[in-house]
Amino acid sequence: MTAPNQPLTPEQVELIRTSYEALSPRGDHLLNTFFDNLFESTPSMEEVLPRAGIAKRRSLLKTVSFIVDNADRLEGIRNSLMDMGEHNADTGIKSAHYPLVRDTLVATMAQVAGDAWTQQLDEAWFDVLSVVSLFMIRGAERRAERKQAA
């Protein structure tokens, strides 16, 4: 796995971008399948991310697109990701949810991509989403510290 202070390799960035480009025309199907998989594997997540929330689903797709666009400069978007983590904490998303979401999203992309999915894609997406999750968790922690200080 890529450490948060180390950039993804150019090969990983290319894999992430080309796979996202291939999956994005099936974005609605990807999102519906992701939420079905997430709620099936972890029913309690439906309380945090309500099934009916079309806006929340689109927000996830926008976030993934943002990550893809900036995969070669994750450190440069650290503050934006930490801000997202702060916001997520306010909506009830906890640090423990991030690995669930990461793992379910990677598995869902593999499911939707079918035979086109490779071990290299799996590793690249796992790495990028692990770094993103870490930054968002740090944002949630920052939020908690601010609340305690107030």
Residues 6+ apart with CB under 8 A from 60: 31, 34
Q: Are 129 and 105 in contact (CB under 8 A)?
A: yes
The predicted-structure confidence for 61-105, as pLDDT tens digits, reads as follows 899 999 999 999 999 999 999 999 999 888 888 999 999 999 999
Task: Kindly report the average pLDDT of the chain as a whole number.
Answer: 90
Domain for residue 83, yes or no? yes
Residue 52 has pLDDT above 70, yes or no: no
- Band (134; pLDDT cuts 50, 70, 90): very high
Total domain count, the chain: 1
Domain at 39, CATH number: 1.10.490.10
pLDDT at 7: 78
Contacts 24+ apart (CB under 8 A), 55-59: 57/31, 57/32, 58/31
User: For 47-56, what is the mean pLDDT?
Assistant: 70
The 3-class SS string of 50-93 reads CCCCHHHHHHHHHHHHHHHHCHHHHHHHHHHHHHHHHHHHHCCC
Residue 1 lies in a domain: no
The range of the structural domain enclosing residue 97 comes to: 10-149
pLDDT score of 86: 93
Q: Enumerate long-range contacts of 33-42, CB under 8 Å, 24 or more apart.
A: 33/108, 33/111, 33/112, 34/60, 34/104, 34/105, 34/108, 37/104, 37/107, 37/108, 37/111, 38/100, 38/101, 38/104, 41/100, 41/104, 42/100, 42/104
Instruction: Assess contact for 125 and 54: CB atoms under 8 A.
Output: no
- 32-36, 58-62, 71-75: least confidently modelled range: 58-62
Asked if residue 2 is part of any domain, the answer here is no
- 0.85 exceeded by the pTM? yes
pLDDT at 139: 94
How is residue 46 written in tokens? 């439906």
Domain-located, residue 5:
no
Is 74 domain-assigned?
yes
Q: What is the predicted pLDDT for the residue at 4?
A: 53
